[in-house]
Amino acid sequence: MTASGQSTPESNILGNFASVVGLLGAALFFTGWIYRWSYFSSFQLNVITLDLPVESFFIVPLQVFLGDGWTIVKSAIALLLTSLAIYLTLWLVNSINKTVAAQINSIITRSVSYPYGRRFGWIYRILNSWQRFNINRFNSLKLLRSLVDEIIIVGWVLLVLFWSAYHQGIADARRDAGENSSLPAVALIAKQDNIALGRKLDDPTLRLAPKGFKAIGDVGLFVKLSSTDYTDINNPKEPRIWRLLLERGNWIYLFPALTTEQQTNPKARPPVIAIQQSQSGDQLLIISPEPSQPPK
């Protein structure tokens, strides 16, 4: 600020920059929240109960807008259409405003000029004052018009962000639930008293056969680490692969990937198993980018 109380160009630039950063941060958080809500809803999980870090919601929008080449193209098209929709809506609102104002002024003009007598002279004065009223001279009414324009702009932006994040979240969830999943394959090894599901590892072909344990998922990952020729595959042509969805709040979220036949059904959703992490060190979670190969 200068001595006269007027803002300097530098302060105006900083103020505008702070406003842009604030709006951008709000848009990123909104997009990230909608994306994760849509994504985890496909696995029947509520994003509110997962206690995800707040800062992660600002990074997720990169997946929505810059995930791959086609996503970037769709984002560019959405930006162009949003700009066009905002311009057309503002033009339409302005045209309607001018038309309504012209009609009101026309009615007031005819009413004022019509001789009803002195009895209703005070009404004539009010209508005549209304007709001469210049809306552009009052800052409060200018602010109201500016607020309407901003509501239109923000409304269109939020609508496009919502649908982009919502559909991208569903598409990514469908991808991760199937064969082309970007989620890691896992094998969970724990005592049989700690988990209700899974198959026992008491197998004569297993070099290291820890009795009293059961497993969920691709045991081949565990076997590979144990230098054995064993894998938990019932059907070599279509093995059951388990994926790690999330680790949060001392809980492990696992799900079996959808088979090729199940993926043909757009409503198919994999079941998700939540297992509490062990605090005594008697639980092993193996994470791998790819499942183990069946024995030849």
Mean pLDDT of 127-156: 69
pLDDT of residue 193: 74
Alpha helix segments (H runs only) across 114-138: 121-132
- pLDDT band for position 231 (50/70/90)? very low
Spatial CA neighbour of 214 closest among 231, 228, 196? 196
Which is more confidently placed, 150 or 2? 150
Residue type, 26: A
Distances (CA, A) of 84 to 27, 28, 78, 184: 19, 22, 10, 41
Kindly report the backbone phi and psi dihedral angles of residue 185, in degrees, each rounded to the nearest multiple of 5, phi listed first: -80, 150
Residue 200, strand partner residues: 214
Please, are residues 186 and 244 in contact by the beta-carbon 8 Å criterion?
yes
CA dist 34 and 30 (Å) reads: 6
Please, are residues 1 and 15 in contact by the beta-carbon 8 Å criterion?
no
User: pTM here?
Assistant: 0.67
Please, are residues 152 and 82 in contact by the beta-carbon 8 Å criterion?
no
CA dist 28 and 22 (Å) reads: 10
CA dist 141 and 1 (Å) reads: 28
Which is more confidently placed, 181 or 161? 161
CA dist 36 and 51 (Å) reads: 12
Spatial CA neighbour of 64 closest among 87, 112, 30? 30
pLDDT above 90: residue 37: yes
The per-residue pLDDT for range 58-100, each reduced to its tens digit, is 888 888 888 778 888 888 998 999 999 989 988 888 888 777 7
Range from 157-161, 211-215, 226-230 that averages highest in pLDDT: 157-161
Comparing 87-91, 130-134, 212-216, 275-279, which segment has the lowest mean pLDDT? 130-134
Helix (H) or strand (E) holding 244: strand 242-248
- pLDDT band for position 265 (50/70/90)? confident
DSSP code, position 277 = P
